[in-house]
Copies of this chain bind each other. A is one copy, B any other.
């Protein structure tokens, strides 16, 4: 008996989105503006030009344009690895014995191994268009760095990547992938920047953090001619580019006559989550439908669930504008949990606002539980997930098990952001039962909050 519903649904190239969706256009209350930390005045696009490419700075500030055309050249690049499949997790459902229908949008079928390429190619394109001659960035798990290395190699743009030191050490092969695409990879904190040297002086053995790597990449960009900084998450522009994930997902579900009761994404800086939920959140903002939307974060770095909603620096070195967001404090140094891509002290200002206003929920999960889910998923669905993505799997499984108890046949959609091929050190520590869970104490968090800027 053949199933009518396909395991994997690919849109055709004609069906692929030709515009990104800008969630801010439909928010009645917009995210609070970024502030200049010296003057506490709202930042204008022009103020960002020394750091960001101009077109991207404009996208960052644009709260009004609902749909933004994807340049033809980026559409063509997307076609090399998109559309990504929407997959029905038939085998996982069977293993869980749940009446729930579980779908996942799989973004890992490209060499960067994640959704990050969606924004990387856009940012490299606009940089090239402006005539820039080099870029800098940071990377945590290495997925963003790999994606940007691919994109920069495509446009022959030299790239320096500051890689969070503990990831650099856990993932030697990630570095080689980036180098294969021509990038210069530097472990952060490094002694190549003032901010790196200051952090090392204070704590020579630090494993680093995304916040710290961001500071270094910005310092390098603003002190180098023709160079700009690009960021793979948190920013409004990134969520805009990543909306292609949600747009494709929604369209594919419509072809199956489905609409999700629950949408689940892992949340580090918010790039995947913001992209995945965008069109579903639109339905909610416009009062058309009200899916449950869940952010999943690691218990080791719980910005939504244990952070405060406040103005804070986006980096450790305090060189960025202030953004109002859920934050653990820019000085927060997460323990070296393996989900390197989720080790960021803050959260996308858009998502922070939506969470604050009650449009979405958040849960935090411990990594041993996350890897249990990852291995179960891998064995059932033949895809080895990235630890980051496995946070969403954990919560999707928990929701499906709740459906089993209640007997409800809910439709669950989650984002499978990427593959775990470069996370085998983490899998090994899980396989050999040497993995431990890190949870910051209340005292640690309170101490971190005292350093928030006074606004």
Contacts and interface: CB of A to CB of B under 8 A. Distances in A.
Interface of A, secondary structure class, is: helix
Contacts of A356: none
In the complex this chain forms, how many copies of it are found? 2
Most chain B CB within a 10 A radius of its CB, from A150, A176, A381, A383: A176
Interface in A370-422: 375, 378-384, 419, 421-422
A381 B421 contact: no
Contact of A424 (B79, B173, B382): B173
A138 B12 CA distance: 40
Contacts of A81: 382
Interface string A1-45: 111001110101100000000000000000000000000000000
Interface string A288-325: 00000000000000000000000000000000000000
A117 interface: yes
Given A173-B424, A180-B431, A422-B421, A153 B379 contact: yes
A109 interface: yes
Given A10-B10, A13-B6, A180-B431, A110 B383 contact: yes
Interface string A174-192: 0011011110000000000
Contacts of A378: 111, 150, 180-181
A80 interface: yes
A428 interface: yes
Contact of A421 (B75, B90, B91, B421): B421
B180 A110 contact: no
A179 to B, nearest CB: 5
Contact of A431 (B90, B113, B117, B176): B176
Contacts of A384: 111, 177, 180
A259 interface: no
Nearest to A10: B10
A273 to B, nearest CB: 24
A103 interface: no
B13 A176 contact: no
Contacts of A109: 109
B6 A79 contact: yes
A228 B384 CA distance: 27
A168 B23 CA distance: 48
A153 B180 CA distance: 33
Contacts of A117: 382
A374 to B, nearest CB: 9
A33 to B, nearest CB: 36
A390 to B, nearest CB: 12
A427 interface: yes
A132 B150 CA distance: 46
Given A111-B378, A383-B111, A421-B421, A428 B80 contact: no
A67 interface: no
Interface in A171-228: 172-173, 176-177, 179-182
Interface of A: 1-3, 6-8, 10, 12-13, 72, 75-77, 79-81, 87, 90-91, 109-111, 113, 117, 150, 153-154, 172-173, 176-177, 179-182, 375, 378-384, 419, 421-422, 424-425, 427-428, 431
14 contacts: A2-B72, A6-B12, A6-B79, A7-B80, A76-B90, A80-B87, A80-B382, A109-B109, A173-B424, A176-B428, A176-B431, A177-B424, A180-B378, A180-B431
